[in-house]
Structure 1
Amino acid sequence: MAPLSTLPADPHAAPAEEVLAHLQADAAGLTEAEAAARLAQFGPNRLPEVAQRGWLMRFLAQFHNVLIYVLIGAAALTIGLGHYVDAGVILAVVLANAVIGVVQEGKAEQAMGAIRQMLAPHAAVLRGGRRLTVAGEALVPGDVVLLEPGDKVPADLRLIEANGLALQEAMLTGESVPVDKGTDAVAVDAPLGDRRGMAYSGTLVTKGTGRGIVTSTGAATEIGRIGGLLAGVETLTTPLVRQMDHFARWLSLLILLISGLLLAFGTFVQHRDFAELFMIVVGMAVAAIPEGLPAVMTITLAIGVQGMARRNAIVRRLPAIEAIGAVSVICTDKTGTLTRNEMTVATVAVPGGRYAVAGEGYAPDGAITPAGGRLGDLARAAALCNDAELHCKAGIWGVEGDPMEGALLAFAGKVLPEAASGWARLDEIPFDSRHRFMAVLNRGEDGVLVHVKGAPERVLNMCRDQSGAEGPEPIDRAHWHALAEEIAGQGQRMLALAVCTPAGDSIDEHHIEGGLTLLGLVGLIDPPRPEAIAAVAECRAAGIRVKMITGDHAGTAAAIARMIGLENPARVLTGADLEALDDAALGAAVRETDVFARTSPEHKLRLVMALQAQGQSVAMTGDGVNDAPALKRADAGIAMGLKGSEAAKEAADLVLADDNFASIAAAVREGRTVYDNIKKVISWTLPTNGGESMTVIVALLLGLSMPVTAVQILWINLITGITLGLALAFEPTEPGTMRRPPRQRSEPILSGALVWHVVLVSALFLAAVFGMFAYAMDRGYPLALAQTIAMNTLVVLEIFHLFFVRNLHGTSLTWAAARGTRVIWATVLGVTAGQFAITYIPLLQRVFGTQAVPLADGILIVAVGAAFFALIEIEKQIRLGLRG
Structure 2
Amino acid sequence: MTTQGLSSEKAQALLTEYGENCLPKPSRNSFVRLFIIQFRSAFIYVLLVAVVVCLILGQLINAFFISVVLLLNALIGTIQEYSAQQAADALADMVPQQSRVIRDNHPVVVDSRSLVPGDWIMLSSGDRIGADIDLRQSSQFQVDESALTGESISVSNKEQAFAGTLVTHGRAEGEVIATGINTQIGQIAKLVHQGVDTKPPLMQRIDQFTLRIAIAIVIIIALIFSLTLIRGADLSDVFLLGVALAVSAIPEGLPAAITVALAIGMKRMAKANVIVRKLVAVESLGSCTFIASDKTGTLTVNEMTIGQIWLANEHKYHVAGEGLAQNGLVHRHGHGVPVTVEEELGLKQLTLVGLLANEAHLVYNTDKIHADGDGVDLAFLVLGHKLRLTSELENHTQLTLFPYESEKGFSASVNNSPLGPQISVKGAVEKVMTMCSLSEEMSQKILDQTHWMARHGYRVLALAHGAGTAESDAFTGLEFLGLVAMSDPLRHDAIEAVASCRQAQIKVAMITGDHPVTALTLSQQLKIVSEHDKAVTGSELSQAMALNESEFDRLVATHRVFARVKPEQKMEITQSLIRQGEFVAMTGDGVNDAPALKHAHVGISMGLRGTDVARESASLVLTDDNFSSIVKGVIEGRIVYNNIRKVIFLLVSTGAAEIFLFILSVLFALPIPLFPLQILWLNLVTNGVQDVALAFEPAEGNEFSQPPRAPKEPIFDRLMLERVCISALVMGLIAFGLFAISLQMGVSEEAARNLTLMLMVLFENVHALNSRSEHRSLFVVPFFSNPILLLGIFVAQGIHIGAMYTPGLSDALQLSPINFSHWLILLATASVLFIVDEVHKKRWRMRANPNLGEPITDRRPE
Aligned CA distance change for structure 1 residues 808 and 359 (closer, same or farther; 3 Å): farther
Deviates more, 1:722-731 or 1:71-80: 71-80
Deviation string 1:7-28 (CA, Å, 9 cap, x unpaired) is xxxxxxxxxxxxxxxxxxxxxx
SS of equivalent to 1:794: helix
Distance in 2 (CA, whole Å) between partners of 1:389 and 1:686 is: 60
Q: What does residue 70 of structure 1 align with?
A: 43
Q: What does residue 822 of structure 2 align with?
A: 857
Matched, 1:262 2:234: no
Aligned CA distance change for structure 1 residues 803 and 562 (closer, same or farther; 3 Å): same
Q: What does residue 12 of structure 1 align with?
A: none
Q: What does residue 631 of structure 2 align with?
A: 665
Letter in 2 for 1:326: S
Distance in 2 (CA, whole Å) between partners of 1:394 and 1:273 is: 93
Q: What does residue 378 of structure 2 align with?
A: 406
Deviates more, 1:278-287 or 1:668-677: 278-287
Letter in 2 for 1:377: T
Deviation at 1:653, TM superposition (A): 2.3
Instruction: Check the 8 A contact 1:290/1:689 in 2, yes or no.
Output: yes
Matched, 1:390 2:390: no
Aligned to 2:755, which of 789, 805, 809? 789
Q: What does residue 141 of structure 2 align with?
A: 153
Deviation at 1:71, TM superposition (A): 3.8
Aligned CA distance change for structure 1 residues 580 and 274 (closer, same or farther; 3 Å): farther
Instruction: Check the 8 A contact 1:638/1:653 in 2, yes or no.
Output: yes
Aligned CA distance change for structure 1 residues 524 and 398 (closer, same or farther; 3 Å): farther
Deviation at 1:777, TM superposition (A): 3.6
Distance in 2 (CA, whole Å) between partners of 1:724 and 1:653 is: 30
Q: What does residue 377 of structure 1 align with?
A: 340
Distance in 1 (CA, whole Å) between partners of 2:207 and 2:220 is: 20
Instruction: Check the 8 A contact 2:517/2:535 in 1, yes or no.
Output: no
Q: What does residue 86 of structure 1 align with?
A: 66
SS of equivalent to 2:654: helix
Q: What does residue 275 of structure 2 align with?
A: 314
Distance in 1 (CA, whole Å) between partners of 2:610 and 2:35 is: 31
Deviation at 1:794, TM superposition (A): 0.8
Instruction: Check the 8 A contact 1:788/1:839 in 2, yes or no.
Output: no
Deviation at 1:302, TM superposition (A): 1.6
Deviates more, 1:851-860 or 1:70-79: 70-79
Instruction: Check the 8 A contact 2:538/2:565 in 1, yes or no.
Output: no
Deviation string 1:421-458 (CA, Å, 9 cap, x unpaired) is 9999767999999998999999xxxxxxx9x9978988
Distance in 2 (CA, whole Å) between partners of 1:645 and 1:398 is: 21
Distance in 2 (CA, whole Å) between partners of 1:392 and 1:792 is: 74
Deviation string 1:13-47 (CA, Å, 9 cap, x unpaired) is xxxxxxxxxxxxxxxxxxxxxxxxxxxxxxxxxxx
Aligned CA distance change for structure 1 residues 331 and 72 (closer, same or farther; 3 Å): farther
Instruction: Check the 8 A contact 1:63/1:69 in 2, yes or no.
Output: no
Instruction: Check the 8 A contact 2:304/2:375 in 1, yes or no.
Output: yes
Aligned CA distance change for structure 1 residues 363 and 719 (closer, same or farther; 3 Å): farther
Instruction: Check the 8 A contact 2:401/2:412 in 1, yes or no.
Output: yes
Deviation string 1:716-748 (CA, Å, 9 cap, x unpaired) is 111221222222212221122112110101222
Distance in 1 (CA, whole Å) between partners of 2:329 and 2:835 is: 64
Deviates more, 1:275-284 or 1:78-87: 78-87
SS of equivalent to 2:808: helix
Aligned CA distance change for structure 1 residues 364 and 460 (closer, same or farther; 3 Å): farther
Aligned to 1:524, which of 460, 479, 486? 486
1:718-867 paired onto structure 2 within 5 Å: 718-777=684-743, 780-814=746-780, 816-819=781-784, 821-867=786-832
TM-score, length basis structure 2: 0.70
Distance in 1 (CA, whole Å) between partners of 2:365 and 2:273 is: 23
Q: What does residue 249 of structure 1 align with?
A: 211
Deviation string 1:435-492 (CA, Å, 9 cap, x unpaired) is 98999999xxxxxxx9x997898899999xxxxxxxxxxx999756632453257662
Distance in 2 (CA, whole Å) between partners of 1:690 and 1:881 is: 27
Deviation string 1:366-398 (CA, Å, 9 cap, x unpaired) is 899999744433698477774665336898855
Deviation string 1:741-791 (CA, Å, 9 cap, x unpaired) is 101012221121221211211121123212333454455443222212111
Q: What does residue 605 of structure 2 align with?
A: 639
Q: What does residue 325 of structure 1 align with?
A: 286
Letter in 1 for 2:340: D
Instruction: Check the 8 A contact 1:328/1:544 in 2, yes or no.
Output: yes
Matched, 1:544 2:506: yes
Instruction: Check the 8 A contact 2:574/2:600 in 1, yes or no.
Output: yes
Deviates more, 1:580-589 or 1:828-837: 580-589
Deviates more, 1:363-372 or 1:844-853: 363-372
Aligned CA distance change for structure 1 residues 716 and 737 (closer, same or farther; 3 Å): same
Aligned to 2:618, which of 652, 670, 694? 652
Letter in 2 for 1:104: A
Gaps of 5+ in 1: 1-49, 125-134, 140-144, 158-171, 173-199, 208-217, 220-233, 443-449, 464-474, 499-506, 510-516
Instruction: Check the 8 A contact 1:235/1:633 in 2, yes or no.
Output: no
Q: What does residue 290 of structure 1 align with?
A: 251
Q: What does residue 459 of structure 2 align with?
A: 492
Distance in 2 (CA, whole Å) between partners of 1:53 and 1:206 is: 31
Distance in 1 (CA, whole Å) between partners of 2:336 and 2:415 is: 25
SS of equivalent to 1:649: helix
Aligned CA distance change for structure 1 residues 518 and 586 (closer, same or farther; 3 Å): closer
Distance in 1 (CA, whole Å) between partners of 2:199 and 2:546 is: 28
Distance in 2 (CA, whole Å) between partners of 1:115 and 1:820 is: 39
Deviation at 1:669, TM superposition (A): 0.6
Q: What does residue 616 of structure 1 align with?
A: 582
Deviation at 1:667, TM superposition (A): 0.5
Distance in 2 (CA, whole Å) between partners of 1:373 and 1:392 is: 28
Deviates more, 1:97-106 or 1:694-703: 97-106
Aligned CA distance change for structure 1 residues 682 and 280 (closer, same or farther; 3 Å): same
Deviation at 1:522, TM superposition (A): 2.7
Q: How many residues align?
A: 717
Aligned-pair Cα RMSD in Å: 5.3
Gaps of 5+ in 2: 1-22, 56-62, 100-111, 121-129, 146-152, 154-165, 174-183, 186-196, 403-409, 469-478, 850-862
Instruction: Check the 8 A contact 1:339/1:527 in 2, yes or no.
Output: yes
Letter in 2 for 1:492: R
Deviation string 1:251-270 (CA, Å, 9 cap, x unpaired) is 122111111111111111x2
**Higher gyration radius (CA):** 1
Distance in 2 (CA, whole Å) between partners of 1:746 and 1:435 is: 45
Distance in 1 (CA, whole Å) between partners of 2:247 and 2:453 is: 71
TM-score, length basis structure 1: 0.68
Deviation at 1:559, TM superposition (A): 5.8
Q: What does residue 717 of structure 1 align with?
A: 683
Distance in 1 (CA, whole Å) between partners of 2:642 and 2:607 is: 28
